[in-house]
Structure 1
């Protein structure tokens, strides 16, 4: 078991290193392409760091001919669990980061762009509500495929809206590009090739680290006697959402609170569309009670966040509610007899 513990720790370190590289790289890419900072956080960073949690359910749903039911359970658990983690644990981690870096930042409350965060949540809530409700009814293959196409159209529309935003005048990247420092170039005037290489290396590190982290976590949890769906619902998103959580911590440390929140809310929009579309196409999309519980808490957490985004400040009590919401989820699993 010692070797598994070492691999687990190494995979965690790889995720963090990849997130640091990716965050720095996409900031510079957005700056070079004159993309609005909201789009950098909600699109570039969110989609890139969402690769692990998209990859895992895709593999689960597309493989497993020997045990299709178990693989479907793992896939659906990972899909529904991702928005839950983002709307609860990720928010809680942001609150802890705001407290931990309060001296460096000179404040505790997050300074965010209310309109940007509410825009993301306004996309997320109705879409995810519809797919959760769809998981409670019997749908034929044709209806599921139509709904999957509709989700792809929704996300394409969201992408167009974000890319049309204008970058704020004077928006700068404070940290130089890491790869240019390694290559002894000018980190404050990075070359396009160095930026692309750093983004790709960071994304690959996140993907490899997250997959290995999940594998090793499952090895440690085989004696918990949980069904595959519940295990995936809890463990897969917890591991694969690490990039979003750590990216947001990095940006909070740097005082870029709007990017930190956009990274989370943008990922919520992505998770409610793309992975769900995969689930609709390659599974019956029947959600079990634990998955319905997770979806309901994710929706409730999104509503609470939307309501509390009344101005440009987001206090830590609102973020800490995420931890309480996840605790309620665990209590609910216990009540359902699955934990």
Structure 2
């Protein structure tokens, strides 16, 4: 390999590691900041996880289909559809698997051991809205685009309903739950930094900026963390795409599988950190809330602005897309079924481990299609 090419490879590798570090740092700062932000806004712990944390960390993966759709050109619609479908698929499989694995891994340090203490109402609400919205999105793909009711395409009706569905979800989430106890929250990172700076310059703080931070400081830290997450995710995706192109993986496969792995890392990291700290409601609702978001609003973009071609005909471009939707729905149904049958806060995490099996099967299918040149 020429020296210049070798140097470029090292640069790409370092950028890949740097992006991974930004995601980790952003997740740590974000989990701390969003807890305080939800508390200052008077939002319940479950709503903080389902709305603030979920929507915030969903920004990286949401930007990919938007950019692809706006850019246009050859393959842009495939990239947009793959990115839209890849996000909820990763959440329902890999992210859910990490929830179960983290509970077992951190069992020794958790006060709840291997029991997952969760908010049953919010979890069932999140998964129910996800399953309704995502199922409708799949049905929309099976309806020919020119099919109309009263001169209005049926797909447009479904798209409008999905937006209204998420607005209804927001309303129900915000009105439910109790406010978290601030005694159980870690000091605000930015507040600690402000106190350190003031002390360094010899002027002691006139108030507690870390354990009783002002709303402005909590919002500032959350925005800083989101910046780290967005930059890290975009950088990670760029480097992963370079790796995939180097070994000849089609870009459509990258959009459906590899890119969502990178962009779903924030949700996964946030949840792992919260599970290690016995904050199971925040951890689980961070993922299920993101599923509710990804199963309604981003798919609306796909229905309205892409061919949205999903089918179950073996060997066609839409086959893997359709399978990813069906697997995500199946994984969500399993967790919802278990959540409905157990009492509040009495959840064995084993069903989450089973979610990873869907991803393994899907990955095998994707590899098979790549080998066939599909």
TM (norm. structure 2) is: 0.86
Residue in 1 aligned with 2:115? Answer: 109
The 1-side partners of 2:32 and 2:180 are apart by: 20
How has the CA–CA distance of structure 1 residues 170 and 2 changed in structure 2, closer, same or farther, with 3 Å as cutoff? closer
Structure 1 residue 338, shift from structure 2 partner: 6.1
Candidates 176, 182, 187, aligned match of 2:193 = 182
The 2-side partners of 1:147 and 1:229 are apart by: 25
The 1-side partners of 2:255 and 2:278 are apart by: 34
Candidates 310, 321, 324, aligned match of 1:294 = 324
How has the CA–CA distance of structure 1 residues 255 and 335 changed in structure 2, closer, same or farther, with 3 Å as cutoff? same
8 Å CA contact retained: 1:128, 1:272: yes
Residue 136 (1) aligns with residue 147 (2): no
Structure 1 residue 58, shift from structure 2 partner: 0.6
8 Å CA contact retained: 1:31, 1:172: no
Residue in 2 aligned with 1:229? Answer: 252
Residue 12 (1) aligns with residue 20 (2): yes
How has the CA–CA distance of structure 1 residues 169 and 86 changed in structure 2, closer, same or farther, with 3 Å as cutoff? closer
Candidates 222, 226, 231, aligned match of 1:208 = 231
Residue in 1 aligned with 2:126? Answer: 120
The 2-side partners of 1:87 and 1:280 are apart by: 21
Residue in 1 aligned with 2:336? Answer: 306
How has the CA–CA distance of structure 1 residues 169 and 273 changed in structure 2, closer, same or farther, with 3 Å as cutoff? closer
Residue in 2 aligned with 1:325? Answer: 358
Structure 1 residue 143, shift from structure 2 partner: 3.7
8 Å CA contact retained: 1:62, 1:282: no
Deviates more, 1:238-247 or 1:104-113: 104-113
Residue 62 (1) aligns with residue 66 (2): no
How has the CA–CA distance of structure 1 residues 181 and 169 changed in structure 2, closer, same or farther, with 3 Å as cutoff? closer
Structure 1 residue 251, shift from structure 2 partner: 0.7
TM (norm. structure 1) is: 0.94
The alignment yields a C-alpha RMSD, in angstroms, of: 1.7
Residue in 1 aligned with 2:6? Answer: none
Structure 1 residue 229, shift from structure 2 partner: 1.9
Residue in 1 aligned with 2:95? Answer: 90
The 2-side partners of 1:338 and 1:155 are apart by: 38
How has the CA–CA distance of structure 1 residues 237 and 75 changed in structure 2, closer, same or farther, with 3 Å as cutoff? same
Q: What are the superposed Cα offsets for residues 215-266 of structure 1, whole Å, 9 maximum, x if unpaired?
A: 1001001144333222210011100000100010111011011111100000
Residue in 1 aligned with 2:168? Answer: 157
Deviates more, 1:262-271 or 1:321-330: 321-330
Residue 248 (1) aligns with residue 239 (2): no
Structure 1 residue 128, shift from structure 2 partner: 0.4
Structure 1 residue 331, shift from structure 2 partner: 2.3
The 2-side partners of 1:304 and 1:338 are apart by: 33
The 2-side partners of 1:237 and 1:59 are apart by: 15
Q: Does the residue aligned with 2:142 lie in a helix, a strand or coil?
A: coil
Which has the greater radius of gyration?
2
Structure 1 residue 23, shift from structure 2 partner: 1.4
Deviates more, 1:170-179 or 1:141-150: 141-150
Q: Does the residue aligned with 1:35 lie in a helix, a strand or coil?
A: coil
Structure 1 residue 334, shift from structure 2 partner: 4.0
Structure 1 residue 173, shift from structure 2 partner: 4.2
The 2-side partners of 1:223 and 1:327 are apart by: 23
Residue in 1 aligned with 2:157? Answer: 146
Q: What are the superposed Cα offsets for residues 127-156 of structure 1, whole Å, 9 maximum, x if unpaired?
A: 101111222332148443332222111111
The 2-side partners of 1:44 and 1:171 are apart by: 17
How has the CA–CA distance of structure 1 residues 307 and 338 changed in structure 2, closer, same or farther, with 3 Å as cutoff? farther
The 2-side partners of 1:169 and 1:203 are apart by: 22
Q: What are the superposed Cα offsets for residues 96-145 of structure 1, whole Å, 9 maximum, x if unpaired?
A: 21122111104022111222111111111121011112223321484433
Residue in 2 aligned with 1:52? Answer: 60
Residue in 2 aligned with 1:283? Answer: 306
The 2-side partners of 1:101 and 1:222 are apart by: 37
Total equivalences in the alignment? 336
Candidates 45, 48, 55, aligned match of 1:40 = 48
Gaps of 5+ in 1: none
